[in-house]
Amino acid sequence: MPSAEQIAENLALVKGHMAEAATAAGRPPEDVRLVAVSKAHPAGTAEAALTAGHRLFGENRVQEGEAKWPGLKEAFPDARLHLIGPLQRNKARAALELFDVIETVDRPRLAAHLARLMDETGRRPDCLIQVNTGAEPQKAGILPKDADAFIAECRDGIGLPVRGLMCIPPADEEPALHFALLAEIAERNGLAELSMGMSADYQTAIRFGATLVRVGTAVFGPREG
Ligand SMILES: *Cc1c(COP(=O)(O)O)cnc(C)c1O
Is 187:176 a contact under the CB 8 Å cutoff? no
Beta carbon of 62 within 6 Å of any ligand 1 atom: no
pLDDT tens by residue, 7-37: 999 999 999 999 999 999 999 999 999 999 9
Chain-centroid distance of CA 54 in Å reads: 15
Average pLDDT, the chain: 97
- CA 26-29-35 angle, to 5 degrees, is 130
Task: Kindly give the number of the ligand 1 atom that is closest to the alpha carbon of 218.
Answer: 9
Give the integer Cα–Cα distance in Å for 60 and 25: 29
Name the 3-class secondary structure at 80: strand
72 neighbors 47 (Cβ within 8 angstroms): yes
Instruction: Return the residue whose CA atom lies nearest to atom 13 of ligand 1.
Output: 84
Q: From 7, 212, 207, 21, select the one nearest 100 (Cα to Cα).
A: 212
Q: Is 41 in the pocket of ligand 1 (CB under 6 A)?
A: no
Check pLDDT > 80 for residue 150: yes
Q: At what angle do helices 144-152 and 175-188 cross, to 10 degrees?
A: 30
CA 157 to ligand 1 centroid distance, Å? 31
> Are 206 and 18 a contacting pair, CB within 8 Å?
yes
Nearest atom of ligand 1 to the alpha carbon of 40: 1
pTM of the model: 0.97
Q: CA angle, corner 101, sides to 150 and 123, nearest 5?
A: 90
Q: Is the CB of 130 under 6 A from ligand 1?
A: no
Per-residue pLDDT for 105 more than 70? Answer: yes
167 Cβ inside 6 Å of ligand 1: no
Q: What is the pLDDT of residue 97?
A: 97
Q: Is 33 helix (H, G, I), strand (E, B) or coil?
A: strand
pLDDT digits (tens, 9 = 90+) for 178-218: 999 999 999 999 999 999 999 999 999 999 999 999 999 99
Our answer on whether the CB atom of 85 is closer than 6 Å to any ligand 1 atom is yes
Pairing of strands 212-215, 33-37: parallel
The number of the ligand 1 atom at minimal distance from the alpha carbon of 214 is 10
pLDDT score for 76: 98
User: Can you give the pLDDT at residue 205?
Assistant: 98
Is the beta carbon of 168 within 6 A of some atom in ligand 1?
yes
Q: Which one of 214, 215, 217, 224 would you pick to mutate in the ligand 1 pocket, going by the greatest count of ligand atoms within 8 A of its CB? A: 214
Residue 34 pairs with which residues in a beta bridge?
213
Q: What is the C-alpha to C-alpha distance for residues 92 and 27, in angstroms, rounded to an integer?
A: 35
Cβ-contact 84, 35 below 8 angstroms? yes
pLDDT of residue 172: 93
Please tell me the distance from the alpha carbon of residue 75 to that of residue 164, in angstroms, as a whole number: 29
Alpha-carbon radius of gyration of the chain? 17
Q: Name the closest-CA residue to atom 11, ligand 1.
A: 214
Measured from the CA of 166, which atom of ligand 1 is nearest? Answer: 13
